Structure 1
Amino acid sequence: MDTNWIRSVLADAAVICQPRLFAIHGLYENRELGTILGWGMQFPDGQGTVYTDPNTRATRGTSTAENMLLHMRVIGDVELTWLTDPAQVTK
């Protein structure tokens, strides 16, 4: 078996299937709790989203970054910032 060919295919797949990066940031509704700042990855082709907040050590999953934003708006005044340009992420 040619393992170099397999390694090459996997390297290409890593680039082609890379997630789009984002951050969610803002303030908790209860201002005494401080700020919200976490990062996430939205995977291509509807494979879902993973978001983590290092302050709370919570990791959550949803279908899209926008759905995560809606979830986070329940607890705070937050915004979504895309960190990866969609043109950089190849589908």
Structure 2
Amino acid sequence: MPEFFESVAFETATEIEQLARLAYELRENRQAVLQFHEVADEAALLQKIQSGEVAEHPAYEHYLAARILEDTRETARAALAERVKEANRT
């Protein structure tokens, strides 16, 4: 990928790097929240809450946090894809 960044403006390359880092950190933080409850995704955590397997609090707050982290990650990934697409046009 060095060839890609050689033709990209410094500011754009920096923005791409920051968005990639943000998406990574959001993914890792979501995984940490879910691992705390030993579940693979938000739906599984919600099921544990509904079944009474875990206490509603703080598990529901963790469920909301995981959802927000995932939604934000998807937004960051979309912005990243758009910036890369724009950079490829130049």
Compute the TM-score of the two structures, normalised by the length of structure 2: 0.33
Higher helix proportion, which one?
A: 2
Higher strand proportion, which one?
A: 1
Higher RCO structure, 1 or 2 (CA under 8 Å, sep 6+): 2
Larger of the two Rg values belongs to structure: 2
Compute the TM-score of the two structures, normalised by the length of structure 1: 0.33
